[in-house]
Amino acid sequence: MLKTILKVIGAFIILFLIALFTIPYFFQDQIKAKIAEAINEKVDAKVSFSDVDLSLIKNFPGANVTISKLAIINKAPFEGDTLVSLGELNLKMSIKELFKDKKEAINIDGISSKNGLINIIFNKEGIGNFDIALKNKETKDEGKSDPLLLKIKDYKVENFQFRYFDETSKIKMVIDSLNHQGNGDFASQKLDLVTKSTAKVSLDMDKVNYMKNVALTLDAVLGIDLEKSKYTFKENKALINQLPLQFDGFIQMVEAGQVYDLKFKTPTSSFKNFLGVIPAAYSASLDNVKTTGDFTVVGFAKGLYSDTSVPKFNIDINSKNASFKYPDLPKTVENIIIDTKIINETGILNDTYVNIGQLSFRIDQDVFNAKAKITNVTQNAIVDAALKGTINLANLTKAYPVKLDKPLSGILKADVTTKFDMESVEKSQYQNINNAGTMSLSGFKYADENGKTMNISTALVQFNPSQVNLKQFDATTGKSDISVTGILENFYGFIFRNQELKGNFFMNSKQLAVDDFMTKGEESKTDAKKAEAMKIPAFLNCTLTAKATTVLYDNLTLKDVSGKLIVKDEKVTLENVKTSIFGGTIGLSGDVSTKGKIPTFDMNLNLNQVDIAQTFTQLDMLKKIAPIAGIVNGKLNSTIKLNGNLDATEFTPDLKSITGDLLGQLLSTTVNSSNSTLLTALSSNIKFIDVSKINLNDIKAAITFKDGKVNVKPFDIKYQDIKATIGGTHGFDQTMNYNLKFDVPAKYLGSEVNALIAKLAPADAAKIESFPVTAMLVGNFTNPKITTDINSAVTKLTTQLVNQQKDRLVKQGTSALTDLLNKNKKPGDTVKTVIPATKEEVKAKVNEEVKKKAADVLNGFFNKKKKVADTTKVN
């Protein structure tokens, strides 16, 4: 019997579990339809969701509907803007709601959501993108029931982001990492809603940042009167960073806007309240911090917030003769006075003003004071401020737990007054800006995480009525020293309006090492430091006229460097830059840009009297363009135009990308052929020229290069009275294809050839002055392959000799031919010479014998025994 009962119970349990998993499949389509209907009947926007899932497990014994990836996209005038995006939306309800008729509304008891975004925008016409409710519905729909009814008892949002932007006032607020939950019986007209909230808030007004990731916490009980739309703060505890605040009063929704009647204050007056304002990341733990004096925040907001008004408000931040000391630090910050008010007395937003009556403190004997007043805040803010005092930077980390890898040092002194309005700043109307005073920094030392140090011995800034004058800036870093003076034209535009920093500067340096100003990146996987991609700052718009005795760049040492650099639009333009290097001078003009993904350059170089050996050894680019280092000695004059890409970290040319041309003239040059495999191979193939004695003085060459290929326009050289024309191409990979055309005088062909020519009539001999020889150079510079056309040259010369002699020999007859043939017989010949009998036979024999003799002579001259032309491969 017991076993039977257990079997029945087990069957019911199994059946129940099966029902929990299967029933949702019967109702999902109905729920989907209800949700789609509820949304489409209410909003004028593009709504989408990826799926709807019904579960009887998540919210047992109730039902849970999960809507995935819900998005509401605005239509015009905010076409394409996202109003709401929810990663997940959960609706809780009773299971009985599933069995309602399609025409009956479903009651929702609870809502929760994760990973959401709410994006509120007001355009210049004052229209908000959240106004998406359908309007002008027909009266026939008035009696229709809503497909979904909200009778919420609890709700919760996790990891939300709330964005707010008003195009007119340029107010931008972001509430990030928002977590909020509340519970109460919304079915009742009056209820107490228990809420918990955490978030990080950032606030910008017209490009000026007032808050950045300020941590907020609020645990509050809100008394809600739904009939009157009134929300009253009851029990509450708020934290701004670590500053505690308490609220009292209410907010009520009315037809014209919202009515505020709120008061707030710090629950205690301890100075720890001030330290709590500072973000926790910068203030460390407040436990065991010793403080004296007080710090209070007291304020109210009362009145109507509407399209034309704001509540009147007064926020009073005050501290008198306070101090604090962290337990692990040696210094105390004393005599702290804070007197700050933020006030609006009219309800007109532009009448809000900020008055910092006094902000002062002392560390040891150094006292610092500041005061400021900001008025006309929303239309054209007017700033009137003053700074005066001294700060020993080394004491900052000894008095306050600032997290620095390396401690600071140096003395900062200020005595400055300034008055300006934001409109004048934005329009660069410097005549409306009134500055006076000086600010200086001396003995400043700083080391970054990579160990690079910056030492500023003296920096002095003078504030003149309409500009900021950098009177002195002397610093050293690494191997470099710099001294800078100049004028900053729009200092406030840069600080307050994110405008370009304009200026005109003069720099002098005894030694400037470019690597000292290169930044290092994070450690790579091999733990080796790698340089970050260098970028020319987009905010710079300035001119720098510079002189440096020595500049160290890569492996180069440049002397007496001078010129002008214009920095604008992420580009540096060089004008009239000169330097002494390689025993001569180099002039540069052009530009370098980092605006694109890959840095680029476009440069003109003027080389004057530079040493060839040094130039073509130390400059990789020229080494590839003309690989003559160690072969040609002497001086070079050249103009080079080139452009291409730069390596993003080293700022050196990417040789595969460069394009340009070079015009060069060689001066006082000699050739060291023993250092060149190519010249050695040439010497072994062409005996009539001693390559080491070639005179290259005043040789002019024109070269173009693109896509890793160099094209040399044919140019002439002379060796004694032999003329040669050289032209062709080679690659940066050292492959080559060159032609050498020689015009060789006959006298270089040896005594036998000249004896043969001497037998010609003077008029005929005069016609044989020279003959052409061509050499082809292929392969590469270290393993060349050389061929010549000596065979065709011999044939041509022989033909010329035959044509000039045959008529004369024929006229002399058989006797003369016999004498010639006998003369050509070698000792020991026993073969009897057969004398041709006819004129045609005489001509043929003459052709044969003269051609044979000429070929033997020329082949001997070119050191060829078997072949007239050969290919020499040199390893």
Residue 4 has what pLDDT? 47
pLDDT tens digits along 721-744: 788 888 888 888 888 898 888 887
Q: Is the pLDDT of residue 606 over 60?
A: yes
Q: Is there a domain that residue 173 lies in?
A: no
Residue 143 has what pLDDT? 47
Residue 139 has what pLDDT? 41
pLDDT tens digits along 540-559: 899 999 999 999 887 889 99
Q: Are residues 507 and 648 in the same domain?
A: yes
Q: Are residues 43 and 164 in the same domain?
A: yes
d(CA 286, CA 284) in angstroms, rounded, equals: 6
Residues 6+ apart with CB under 8 A from 768: 746, 757, 760, 797, 800, 801, 804
Q: Return the percentage of the chain with pLDDT > 90, whole number.
A: 25
Q: Is there a domain that residue 781 lies in?
A: yes
- Check residues 694 and 615 and name the one with the higher pLDDT: 615
Domain that holds residue 34: 19-133+146-168
Burial 388-410, CB ≥16 within 10 A → b, else e = bbbbbbbbbbbbbeeeeeeebbb
| Boundary of a domain, candidates 638, 671, 704 | 671
Residue 519 has what pLDDT? 57
Q: Is there a domain that residue 65 lies in?
A: yes
Q: Is the pLDDT of residue 821 over 60?
A: no
Q: Are residues 253 and 399 in the same domain?
A: yes
Please state which of the ranges 485-494, 660-669, 848-857 shows the lowest mean pLDDT: 848-857
pLDDT tens digits along 87-104: 888 888 777 766 666 566
Residue 532 has what pLDDT? 60
Q: Are residues 395 and 252 in the same domain?
A: yes
Amino acid at 262: L
Q: Is there a domain that residue 777 lies in?
A: yes
Residue 834 has what pLDDT? 47
Mean pLDDT of 338-345: 95
pLDDT tens digits along 381-400: 899 999 999 999 999 888 98
* pLDDT interval class at 533 (50, 70, 90): low
Q: Are residues 512 and 394 in the same domain?
A: no
| Total domains in the fold of the chain | 4
* Distances from the Cα of 407 to the Cα of 362, 400, 412, 453, angstroms: 20, 12, 15, 12
Q: Are residues 505 and 601 in the same domain?
A: yes
d(CA 549, CA 752) in angstroms, rounded, equals: 65
Mean pLDDT of 821-839: 51
Residue 323 has what pLDDT? 94
Q: Are residues 631 and 758 in the same domain?
A: no
| Boundary of a domain, candidates 651, 671, 691 | 671
Q: Is there a domain that residue 325 lies in?
A: yes
pLDDT tens digits along 652-711: 788 888 999 999 888 877 777 666 777 777 777 776 777 777 777 778 889 998 888 889
Q: Are residues 777 and 861 in the same domain?
A: yes
Mean pLDDT score of the chain: 79
Q: Is there a domain that residue 700 lies in?
A: no
Q: Are residues 569 and 666 in the same domain?
A: yes
Token duo for residue 732: 């940066």
Residues 6+ apart with CB under 8 A from 333: 323, 324, 325, 361, 362, 363, 399, 400
pTM of the predicted protein model? 0.65
**Phi-psi category of residue 496: left, alpha or beta, with phi > 0 → left and psi -120 to 50 → alpha:** alpha
Q: Are residues 120 and 245 in the same domain?
A: no
Q: Report which DSSP code applies to 647.
A: -
Q: Is there a domain that residue 474 lies in?
A: no
Q: Is there a domain that residue 861 lies in?
A: yes
Q: Is the pLDDT of residue 344 over 90?
A: yes
Q: Is the pLDDT of residue 406 over 50?
A: yes
Q: Are residues 261 and 396 in the same domain?
A: yes
| Boundary of a domain, candidates 655, 671, 687 | 671
Q: Are residues 651 and 770 in the same domain?
A: no
Highest mean pLDDT among 191-200, 368-377, 427-436, 618-627: 368-377
